[in-house]
Amino acid sequence: MSEFHLAYFSFGSNIEPEANLPEAVKLLSECGDVLKVSSVWESEPVGTAGRNYLNVCILFKATCTVDEMKEKIIHPIEARLGRVRGEDKYAARSIDIDIVLFDGKPISEDWYTLAYVVVPLAEIYPEFQNLITKEKIVETATRLRREVWMETRQGVLG
């Protein structure tokens, strides 16, 4: 019997996000169990000028390892929705999918300061504690909300 893993994903889009986010969530649900979905949050782009992003965090349960999730789930969904990876890591995108946490452990610590990841993640995993600072994610989210403009967008995911 296969072992299940829990992954928290961050999805973001600023190219037709009202169409691409729901489609990405639908495609993800075809690969495993979508257990929780945060509110959709609108935020300004980071690192470049351009259209605002819509972001959401999702709790996902599947039998895949991190590498298998990237290869068999994330990259195919991104490709299907027209994601083009180039040299500019801040370029506009139809969809960007990152694994934030896998089985309760951070994949990297880069996201701890990114409001567009922390705020939606705090909605669906409020008990998570930053392993470095020991700060609860809801405290981090509250602090970041005072520093960065974000607002919820209703009706994007139905």
Q: Which whole number is the average pLDDT over 18-42?
A: 96
SS3 content of the chain, % helix, strand, coil (to 5): 35, 25, 40
Residue 57 in domain: yes
Confidence of residue 1 (pLDDT cuts 50, 70, 90): low
pLDDT for residue 158: 72
Alpha-carbon gap, residue 117 to 14, rounded angstroms: 15
State the CB neighbour count (10 A cutoff) for residue 88. 9
- 3-class DSSP assignment, residue 156: coil
Amino acid at position 127, single letter = E
Element (H, E) at 67: helix 66-69
Residue 115 in domain: yes
Please give the mean pLDDT across all residues of the chain: 91
Residue 103 phi, psi (nearest 5): 50, 40
Residue 158 in domain: no
Residue 91 in domain: yes
Residue 72 in domain: yes
Q: Which domain holds residue 21?
A: 5-153
| Assessment of whether the complete model's pTM goes beyond 0.85 | yes
CA within 13 Å, CB half, 19:
7
Which of the pair, 10 or 157, is modelled with greater confidence? 10
- CA 40 to centroid of chain Cα atoms: 10
- 3-class DSSP assignment, residue 105: strand
DSSP string, 16-48: SHHHHHHHHHHHHHTTSEEEEE--EEEE--SSS
The 10 Å CB-count burial string (b at 16+, else e) for 91-116 is: bebbbbbbbbbbeeebeeeebbebbb
pLDDT for residue 88: 66
pLDDT of 69-112, one tens digit each?
Answer: 999 999 999 999 988 776 666 677 899 999 999 999 999 888 99
Domains held by the chain: number: 1
Residue 98 in domain: yes
pLDDT for residue 17: 94
Residue 91 phi, psi (nearest 5): -60, 155
Residue 136's DSSP bridge partners are 129
What is the CATH classification number for the domain harbouring 13? 3.30.70.560
